[in-house]
Structure 1
Amino acid sequence: MKIVFAGTPEFAAQAMRAIDAAGHQIVLALTQPDRRAGRGMHLQASPVKVFAQEKDITVLQPETLKLTHADLQKRAAAQEAYQCLSDIDFDAMVVVAYGLILPQEVLDLASRNGRYGCFNIHASLLPRWRGAAPIQRAIESGDVNTGVSIMQMDAGLDTGDTVLVGELEITPHDTSASLHDRLAVLGAELMVKTLNDLDKGLSLVRTPQPSLGITYAEKILKNEAEIDWHLSAIEIDRRIRAFNPFPGSTSSLHGEQFKFWNSCLPGGVQTYQDALPGQVLGFSEHGVYVQCGEGVIEVLEMQKPGGKKIAASLCISGGTTANSPMRFEKLENKQGVENV
């Protein structure tokens, strides 16, 4: 089958590689414009663009696909992309974490002339966690399972019929990074199966999403990263794991900002009767025990400013006693006022 592929991050590139390896021909790639990243803030191509260039696939990078955009330059780029889609011969369009809204004109174009339409790989069990950050919000909310939905796209926000669904367990040790990798593999497998079935002439069973159980995974904001040690250990553990790799949970110790990358809920840890939230209670082999508003968390991996991710027990030094405790606290802004 001839495929138009729209996507940007590694999650999308993995599906793109699997589609290519399965023998389908990707005739055009849409991806977001190159972005500045890294310490040198150099322009970097998306993983989708990198793979497309390796395979000599034509790449388009409009900032929007809105044909009536107020900005004349952006509108011209969108119209150019639409004209290219109109001129090219393809059977279906696959969209994976593209980052741009597909207008109705593009959706209609993907369904014309006997085409199969536009399919999306969404990393949740729809209608649970529609929106931008389904992986992070599933961990943060304590979901015990998640999965991938192959969806026939419509004009709504992740509202289309599902045609194939696969489920995965969320383990107590999963971070967004580890869960992302497992979901990327599953999503690629399910998308290839969908395209293979179409290529064989098999009919897809479209299942409308139920009206109950709809939740929205709002975009992760950097200001969510700061740890509120007055929350329970369960909530803090989930957030630390959910915000790995972005934006990384943060807290302050002796005026230094630390990042927290991994944690777990320990068993049988003794606590000081008068311990305060954020107080370091002691050290494990690799971790640090910290008092929370309710319960104790074992922080496993941390990072000093300008340093590397290392075992939490190596990241902070010094002992702690009931009379002289180390305590993680909220960060302070330049005016010395605590963030809220």
Structure 2
Amino acid sequence: MRIVFAGTPDFAAEALRKLIESEHEVVLVLSQPDRPSGRGRKLKASEVKQTALSAGIKVLTPLTLRRSKGLEETAEAIEAMKAADADVLVVAAYGLIIPQEVLDIPRGVSPEHPEIKAVNIHGSLLPAWRGAAPIARAIEKGDAETGITLMQMDAGLDTGPMLMEESVPITEKDTAENLTRELSELGAEMLLRYLDDPNAYPPRAQPQGATYANKLSKEEGRIDWGQSAQEIACRIRAFNPAPGCFFSLNDEVLKAWMAAADSGKTSLAPGTVISSDAKGICVACGGGTVLRLTRLQRPGGKKLDVRDFLSGHSIKAGEVFK
């Protein structure tokens, strides 16, 4: 098939890489504009853009695909899609709203299903966690599983008919980082299976009971020690690698990158350090539960396992985290 691909982060780049290696032809790529990155705030191309350019594929980076809000670059992108004469638009974590005008441009995946013109790789088991941060929100909520849904795109927010769906378990060691990597590989594999035989996967309506995955904010990262240890541990893993969870000790802001609920109970006030050793820093949480912090970071420092962190930064029982 002739494919126009729209995506931005590495989650999407994995699917693009697999498409490039396949018998299908990627004729045009859309991605978000270059963004400032790193301490020097130099402009950096998205993972999708870098992948496409390395393969010699044309890339366009409009700020919007809505004609009413866009300028010449929006019109150029839409005309380029029309000229690409594609069978299907594949979308993965693109980050921009795609209007119906754009969704209607491709021919369709097959004569039997000409209505399927745009296919989205979504990182959840729809209708759960529609929206911007499905993988992180599933971890934060403590879901037992998540997965990938391939869906026929419409103008709604992840509301289109489902084409394929596969699940993976969420373990207590999973972070958003490693789970995103796992799901990106699964999504790429599912996409190729679908495109090789789209008639084998007819569209079906999503069931009722949708939930929504709002974008993560830095403000949400502050740890509330009044929550249960399990709730805090899930949020720490969900916010790893970004934006990160944090707390204060003696006017210093520390980041927590890994933690787990401990089996112990305590009567100490939430935020109080119970013990501190190479196995972890145990902290009192809401409901008498105990959290064991195992990976931390000081301002300007590296992420360190608790053994290495404590060797250069003493934390004692009785101290209180804010």
Q: Report the TM-score when normalising by structure 2.
A: 0.94
Q: 2:309 aligns to what?
A: 315
| Cα distance, 1:327 vs structure 2 | 1.3
Inter-partner Cα distance in structure 2 for 1:160 and 1:284: 51
Report the AA paired with residue 192 of structure 2: V
Structure 1 residue 320, shift from structure 2 partner? 2.8
- RMSD after superposition: 1.6
For 2:156, the equivalent position in structure 1 comes to 156
8 Å contact kept, 2:98–2:155:
yes
- Is 1:206 aligned to residue 203 of structure 2? yes
Contact 1:288 1:313 in 2 (8 A): no
* Cα shift at 1:319: 5.6
Q: Following superposition of structure 1 onto structure 2, how do residues 85-124 of structure 1 map, counting pairs within 5 Å? A: 85-111=81-107, 116-124=116-124
1:197-230 deviation line (CA, Å, top 9, x unaligned):
14xxx343111001x2210101111110000101
For 2:167, the equivalent position in structure 1 comes to: 167
Separation (CA, whole Å) in 2 of partners of 1:276 and 1:129: 34
Secondary structure at the aligned position of 2:246 is classed as strand
Q: Larger deviation: 280-289 or 212-221?
A: 280-289
Selected match of 1:293 from 277, 286, 291: 286
Number of aligned residue pairs: give it. 315
User: In the alignment, residue 201 of structure 2 is paired with which amino acid?
Assistant: L
1:140 Cα shift? 0.8
Structure 1 segments unaligned to the other structure (5+ residues): 330-340
Taking the aligned partners of 1:195 and 1:270, their CA distance within structure 2 comes to 52
Compute the displacement of 1:89 (Å).
Answer: 2.0
Secondary structure of the residue that 1:265 maps to in structure 2?
strand
In structure 1, C-alpha distance between the alignment counterparts of 2:53 and 2:145, rounded to whole Å: 36
In structure 1, C-alpha distance between the alignment counterparts of 2:284 and 2:230, rounded to whole Å: 12
Q: What are structure 2's unaligned runs of at least 5 residues?
A: none
Q: In structure 2, what is the equivalent of residue 327 of structure 1?
A: 320
**Aligned-partner SS, 2:173:** coil
| Identity %, equivalent residues | 45
Give, in whole Å, the separation in 2 of the partners of 1:256 and 1:308.
15
CA distance in 2, matches of 1:304, 1:118: 45
Distance 2:4 2:185 in 1: 20
Give the match for residue 33 of structure 2: 33
Amino acid at match of 1:285: A
CA distance in 2, matches of 1:175, 1:99: 21
For residue 279 of structure 1, what is the aligned residue in structure 2?
272
Q: CA deviation at 1:138?
A: 0.4
Task: Give the equivalent residue in structure 1 for 2:49.
Answer: 49
Distance in 1, Cα, partners of 2:240 & 2:107? 38
Structure 2 residue matching 1:266: 3-state secondary structure: strand
The aligned counterpart of 1:336 is none
Preserved contact between residue 86 and residue 107 of structure 2 (Cα < 8 Å)? no
Q: Which amino acid aligns with 1:256?
A: E
Match of 2:232 in 1: 236
> Aligned partners of 1:276, 1:62: CA distance in 2, in Å?
52
How far the C-alpha of 1:314 sits from its partner, in A, is: 3.3
Counterpart of 1:306 in structure 2 is 300
Cα deviation digits, residues 146-174 of structure 1 (max 9, x gap): 10000010111000001111100001111
1:244 is displaced (CA, Å) by 0.5
Aligned-partner residue type, residue 236 of structure 2: I
* Structure 2 equivalent of residue 9 of structure 1: 9
Structure 1 length-normalised TM = 0.89
Write the letter of the residue equivalent to 2:145. Answer: N
Distance 1:233 1:284 in 2: 18
What's the offset of the Cα at 1:270? 6.3
- Measure the CA separation in 2 of the matches of 1:318 and 1:246: 26
Structure 2 residue 176 is the aligned partner of structure 1 residue 182:
no
Measured against aligned partners, the alpha-carbon deviations of 1:93-138 in whole angstroms (never above 9, x if no partner) come to 1000001111110011124696640000000000000001101110
The CA deviation string for residues 285-317 of structure 1, in whole angstroms up to 9 with x for no partner, is 332111111200111100000000001243243
Moved more, 285-294 or 97-106: 285-294
Q: Distance in 1 between matches of 2:27 and 2:182?
A: 27
Alpha carbons 2:85, 2:106 under 8 Å: kept: no
Could you tell me whether the CA contact under 8 Å between 1:253 and 1:327 is conserved in 2? yes
Q: One-letter code of the match for 2:128?
A: R
Match of 1:337? none
CA deviation vs aligned residue, 1:269-298 (integer Å, no higher than 9, x gap): 464x4x221111112433211111120011
Aligned to 1:61: 61
Paired letter, 1:305? P
Residue identity opposite 1:150 in structure 2: L
**Equivalent residue number for residue 129 of structure 2:** 129
SS for the counterpart of 1:276 is coil
What is the SS of the residue equivalent to 1:51?
Answer: helix
